Amino acid sequence: MFEIATLTNGVRIALETIPFVRSVSFGIWVQNGSRHETAENNGISHFIEHMLFKGTERRTAKQIADEMDAIGGQLNAYTTKEHTCYHARVLDTHLEKAVDVLADMFFHSAFAPAEIERERNVILEEIAMYEDTPEDLAHDNLQYTVWSGSALGRPVLGTENSISAFTQDTFRDYMKHNYRPENTVIAIAGNFDRDKVMALFEATFTAFPEAPAYAAHACPIVYRPGTVAVPKDVEQLHMCIGFPGISIGSDDVYVMAALNTYFGGGMSSRLFQTLREENGLVYSIYSYNESYSEAGLFNIYAALNPSQAKAAMALIRKEIARLFTDKMTEAELEKTKEQLKSSYLLSLESSSSRMSSIGRSTLFLNRILSPDDLVRRIDDINLDRVYELAGRIFDPAQISLSVAGGLKNIDVKELAVHV
């Protein structure tokens, strides 16, 4: 059973009871990420995510870990460009303890100066490690290029300059203004009593500090095609070819999933079969759509020897053109639909994945799709919709290119011409 309820302070609660399991997963979802930051405080959302594990007014970092270990629970978090999620998974008998620990972290983190300094060093190392990874750089730089001038293009981790400036007061002020009932969702899935859980959440998650009404940080998104290259002293070349994609709330979300699966989403896709299996030009190749609230980015990624770059780029371009001349058949569409249904439904066979699904959907769309609704939307996909979307996505005037890695003897501008 799915339900979206609301606490007295406006926090939305997404619930799914699964009585035949013994686990419960719940998460605190906040619609706040690097997109909601400024250039000066870039990276603060991710830093706060780290700091919430470093001790509260009642617990040290070790006590947080010990208490969760004592009940065999799992506790974690992550930050993206548009949201942060703190989540736990425990046996149904330990739900109250897990809620107490996570709520204590969420509302009463100490932000001790000594812990801030230690974690600052950890994050600076994380940034350095990221910059040493050409694959990550290729993806990140593509976003920085196409969303230039927008917070969406900035890195989730922040920069060395911004990370170095944060203090205890910076964190507390940012949380007070950006962690609000209006942009928070509590998602829970598993074996639990609905009324007891609602009473528990009402008693626990109404403790937001007083602050001005939440106002989302304005961040207009404009896609700007461009080319970027970062040389690295490695043998392999990593390249991303980008096009404007679709947003989270688009009616074409599942159509995009079908198009992507057929074109570059797996080992049977056209891109993989042509470039890897038939021609041996790449080690890895795939495509995906990354969706945001009002926009998206369709990306083709390839890892290959630099000497094969021109040939691979020309063949990718040929495959895009062939998509419109040697079109997907009805039989291929049906196969793709079955792949999608299997992928989605199999991914929902744990309480943690169900919690993630209903949490994200409630946070961004304020609705929950049942598995049956999802299957119906996939079944409604037809070839006309696939090719209408493909015509919008693969606009030659909107192509962007990001490359990182071994650029020796490669003229990036010339390479871009081959797209």
CB 407 within 8 A of CB 255: no
**Could you tell me how many helices (H) and strands (E) the chain has, helices first?**
16, 11
Which residues neighbour 183 within 8 Å (Cβ) at sequence distance 6 or greater? 30, 31, 32, 214, 216
Q: How far is CA 11 from the centre of its chain?
A: 22
Place of tokens 């799914």: 16
Distance from the first to the final alpha carbon of the chain: 48
Q: What is the DSSP string of 75-135?
A: EEEEE-SS-EEEEEEEEGGGHHHHHHHHHHHHHHB---HHHHHHHHHHHHHHHHHHHT-HH
182 φψ region: left (φ > 0), alpha (ψ -120 to 50), beta (else):
alpha
81 φψ region: left (φ > 0), alpha (ψ -120 to 50), beta (else):
alpha
- CB atoms inside a 10 Å sphere around CB 136: 15
The span from the CA of 340 to the CA of 44, in Å, is: 36
Give the CB-side neighbour count of residue 346, counting CA atoms within 13 A.
6
CB 299 within 8 A of CB 244: no
The span from the CA of 47 to the CA of 32, in Å, is: 13
- Tokens linked to 405: 């890695």
CB 402 within 8 A of CB 141: yes
Place of tokens 């992550």: 78
Q: Which one of the listed residues 16, 37, 49, 319 is annotated catalytic? A: 49
Tell me, yes or no, if 49 is annotated catalytic: yes
- CB atoms inside a 10 Å sphere around CB 70: 10
CB 182 within 8 A of CB 14: no
CB 228 within 8 A of CB 48: no
Which residues pair with residue 150 across a beta bridge? none
The residues carrying an active-site annotation are 49
